[in-house]
Structure 1
Amino acid sequence: MDALQALAAQLGIADLRGRGFLSVLITFVTAGLFTWFFIPRLRAFAMQVGWADQPNERRLNKTPLPNAGGLAIYGGFLVSIIVAWALRPIAVDLVNIQVLAILLGATLLVLVGFIDDQYGLSPLSRLVVQTLAAVLLLVNDLRVDLNAIPFMPDLPALINQPLSTLVTILWVVGLTNAVNLLDGVDGVVGGVAFVASFVLLATAAQFPDRAAAVVLLAGLSGAALGYLRHNFNPSRIIMGDAGSTLFGYTLAAVSLLGTLKVSAGASLLVPLIVLALPLLDTTQVVIGRLARGIRNPLRHPDKTHIHHRVLARTASARRTAVILWLVALACGAAGMSLQGLRPEAIGGTVLAAALCLFFVAYRRIRAQNLEDAREGNA
């Protein structure tokens, strides 16, 4: 036990039997198990009521595929946070209002995303709701502080305040849409969101004053992992806009939480690097569409996303997902290194995330093989 405790200390875990660590572990496991076991029931109901994406030239599915996975992710995330609140981990009470603001904004986007999945909404209406969700964070003092970004001169308050407000809205709305636009191949967004939230969780856990961020990220990463068990190719359910906007918004919002920001200076640089994949993907897609003379790049879907390009080269949704997971892990390691974490903590986090991804992918493949075998014997 002493050797295990010594190893945990190298990873930044002060006490394996301490209340803080056990609360985080229970939150993560609760989110994962709830999502894992709830999805089959949700899937059956979704098929009955017609909550499904129909096959078309842009989608990989050849039959109707339930698109209500975002509801299961949200359910697992919310249940785990309620459990965490009941356990009362250290320091969470200090930022309850900000945590509630994040949960309220996430709830709003899940609701609107689900309506969009089933009935379709205009891009403008979705953008308005996303902006309102970002404003909700601002009124609860969750914002980008430009004066905390390194290598930038200090701005007077009259300039810093409105400019910080604008940057905050762009950050939240931009990342929400970036994660949404990355959702095009089975397992990609689920895996990338898991890696990003798990890495940010491990980073925040290195510091005793970041309990609120740790709890939220534990719930989000656990829910992503539970969902991924059913989404690795061949997928049995997809998250839809409800799930992808939940991930994008929550990651953006938690990165603004005072207890997650890195010490004076680095501000959003660590989350920016950890979330580099969806941000770079959206940037290159928008620039490419504008270069082709498309005035509204968000209303003209195409196959120029990174996941489409990788899929075209690999001809395999599974390999595409794994490659992008590895890219996300590399970005996560770079972000942790920028934060100044010890190599042991970085290596342990990357290894743990990789093992979790391997486990759910293996279980999905195994389940599919058993299902194919039963059909073959029928």
Structure 2
Amino acid sequence: MESLSTLAAQLGIANLFGRGFVSVIITFLTAWLFTWLFIPRLREFAVQVGWADQPNERRLNKEPLPNAGGLAIFAGFLISVVVAWTLRPIVVEIVNIQVLTILLGASLLVLVGFIDDQFGLSPLSRLLVQVLAAALLIVNGLKIDFNAIPFLPIIPDIINGPLSIFLTVLWIVGLTNAVNLMDGVDGVVGGVGFVVSTVLLATAAQFTDRAAAVVLLAGLSGAALGYLRHNFNPSRIIMGDAGAYLFGYTLAAVSLLGTLKFSAGASLLVPLVVLALPVLDTTQVVIGRLARGIRNPLGHPDKTHIHHRVLARTSSARRTAVILWGVALICGMAGMAFQGVRWPVIVATGLLIVLCLWFVAYRRMRAQDREVRPQENP
């Protein structure tokens, strides 16, 4: 028992059987199992009411595909956070308010994303809601302080205030849309969302002032893994804008979460490195569209995304997803190293991520074999 506790301490776990660590595990498992078990029932209902994406020249599905997976992810995430709150209430009042603010903003974007999935909304209306969700964070103390960003000059408060607000809105809206734009191949966003959430979870767990962030990331990570079981190619359900907005917004917002004395601006390096894949993808797409004379680069979908380019080379949605998972994991481990996380923690996190992804992919492929076999032997 003593050797096990010593090993746990090397991985950043102060008390292997303590209330904090156990609550994180329960939060993760609650989100994972609820999302895993809930999606088949939600899928049946979505098929009945017509919540589905129709085939077109940009989509890979050949028949209507239920697009309500984001609701299941959000439900699993929210229920797990409630469970965690019951097990270990957050005692710092300001952080409590900030967590509620993140949940409120995420709820708003999930609702708007779901409406857009089913009925369609204009790019301007979606953007306005995203800015409103970012404003919710700002008025509750979650923002980037330009003067707290390392290696940049200190500027007067009269300039720092508006600039910090602008950077925060850009950070939230940019990452929300970056993750959404990646959602074009089965399993990509679900897997990348799981990788990023788990990496940020392992990183936040190394600091005593980020307990609230750990709880939210544990729930998001578990929900992503539960969803991925049904989304790895061939997908039985997709998350739609609702799920992609949830991942992008929550990951961006949690990177700003801390205590009263925590400097949010100095914490952005790790999320930026960890989220390098969606950030670079969106950047190259926007630049390419602007170069082609497209005035509204986010309102003209095409097949110039990284996942489309990889898919064209591999001709396999499964291989494309696995390759991008690997890229996200490499970025994540690099981000952990930049943060100064110890190598045993980095290696253990990487191995855990690989094991979990292999498990859900294997389970999905086995389920697919069982689905195909009766059709081949009627």
Map 1:187-266 onto structure 2 (within 5 A).
Answer: 187-259=187-259, 266=266
- Determine if the alignment matches structure 1 residue 14 to structure 2 residue 2: no
Aligned to 1:320: 320
Aligned to 2:293: 293
Seen in structure 2, the aligned counterparts of structure 1 residues 199 and 70 have a Cα distance that, compared at 3 Å, is same
**Secondary structure of the corresponding residue to residue 283 of structure 1:** helix
2:190 alignment partner AA:
G
Shift in Å at residue 377 of structure 1?
Answer: 2.7
Shift in Å at residue 375 of structure 1?
Answer: 2.4
| Distance (Å, rounded) in 1 between the aligned partners of 2:11 and 2:242 | 34
| Distance (Å, rounded) in 2 between the aligned partners of 1:267 and 1:215 | 18
Deviates more, 1:150-159 or 1:117-126: 150-159
Post-superposition, which runs of at least 4 consecutive aligned residues in structure 1 deviate over 6 A? 260-265
Preserved CA contact (<8 Å) 2:145 2:264: no
| Distance (Å, rounded) in 1 between the aligned partners of 2:365 and 2:65 | 18
Task: Note the alpha carbon deviations across 1:46-76, whole angstroms, 9 max, x for none.
Answer: 0000000011111111111000000000000
| Distance (Å, rounded) in 2 between the aligned partners of 1:311 and 1:159 | 45
Gaps of 5+ in 2: none
Preserved CA contact (<8 Å) 1:69 1:239: yes
Map 1:1-378 onto structure 2 (within 5 A).
Answer: 1-88=1-88, 91=91, 95-259=95-259, 266-378=266-378
Deviates more, 1:143-152 or 1:173-182: 143-152
2:52 alignment partner AA:
A
How many residue pairs get matched? 378
Shift in Å at residue 120 of structure 1?
Answer: 0.3
TM-score, normalisation: structure 1 = 0.97
Percent of paired sites with the same residue? 78
**Secondary structure of the corresponding residue to residue 266 of structure 2:** coil
1:365 alignment partner AA:
M
| Distance (Å, rounded) in 2 between the aligned partners of 1:193 and 1:117 | 20
Task: Note the alpha carbon deviations across 1:172-208, whole angstroms, 9 max, x for none.
Answer: 0000000000000000000111111110000000111
| Distance (Å, rounded) in 2 between the aligned partners of 1:260 and 1:202 | 22
Preserved CA contact (<8 Å) 2:256 2:264: no
TM-score, normalisation: structure 2 = 0.97
1:84 alignment partner AA:
A
Task: Note the alpha carbon deviations across 1:109-136, whole angstroms, 9 max, x for none.
Answer: 0000000000000000000000000000
RMSD over aligned Cα, in angstroms?
Answer: 1.5
Gaps of 5+ in 1: none
Preserved CA contact (<8 Å) 1:145 1:267: no
Task: Note the alpha carbon deviations across 1:228-265, whole angstroms, 9 max, x for none.
Answer: 00000000000000000010000011011125998787
Preserved CA contact (<8 Å) 1:191 1:321: yes
Seen in structure 2, the aligned counterparts of structure 1 residues 9 and 267 have a Cα distance that, compared at 3 Å, is same
Shift in Å at residue 15 of structure 1?
Answer: 1.2
| Distance (Å, rounded) in 2 between the aligned partners of 1:261 and 1:29 | 31
